[in-house]
Amino acid sequence: MLDDCKFTQTLPVQVRSLESLRRTGEIPQSAGLLKIDTEGFDLEVIRGMGDARYPVVMTEFWDSEHPFGLSGNGKLQDTVAEMKARGYAWHVVIYRVDETSTLSYYLNRDQTVPKSWANAIFFHDHAVFVRPAGWCESVLPHTISFDSSLTAGGSSP
What ranges in 48-148 are assigned the alpha helix state H?
76-85, 126-139
Q: Strands, DSSP E only, in the chain?
A: 33-35, 56-62, 90-97, 102-107, 117-123
Residue 146 lies in a domain: yes
Distance CA 102, CA 96 (A): 5
Q: What is the pLDDT of residue 3?
A: 66
Residue 14 lies in a domain: no
What is the tally of structural domains in the chain? 1
List per-residue pLDDT tens for the chain, 157 residues long.
556 777 788 889 888 999 999 999 999 888 999 999 888 889 999 999 999 899 999 999 988 888 776 676 778 999 999 999 999 999 999 998 888 888 899 999 998 888 888 999 999 999 999 999 999 999 988 776 544 444 444 444 4
For the four alpha carbons of 47, 48, 50 and 52, in that order, the dihedral sign comes to negative
Q: What is the pLDDT of residue 154?
A: 43
Amino acid, single-letter form, for residue 43: L
Among residues 13, 150, 155, 137, which one has the least CA distance to residue 39? Answer: 13
Residue 42 lies in a domain: yes
Residue 117 lies in a domain: yes
Residue 137 lies in a domain: yes
* Domain housing 60: 33-150
Q: What is the pLDDT of residue 156?
A: 41
Q: Is 116 exposed, middle or buried (0-12, 13-18, 19+ CB in 10 A)?
A: buried
Residue 25 lies in a domain: no
What ranges in the chain are assigned the alpha helix state H?
18-23, 42-47, 76-85, 126-139, 149-152
Residue 8 lies in a domain: no
Please indicate, yes or no, whether the overall pTM of this predicted structure exceeds 0.85: no
Residue 37 lies in a domain: yes
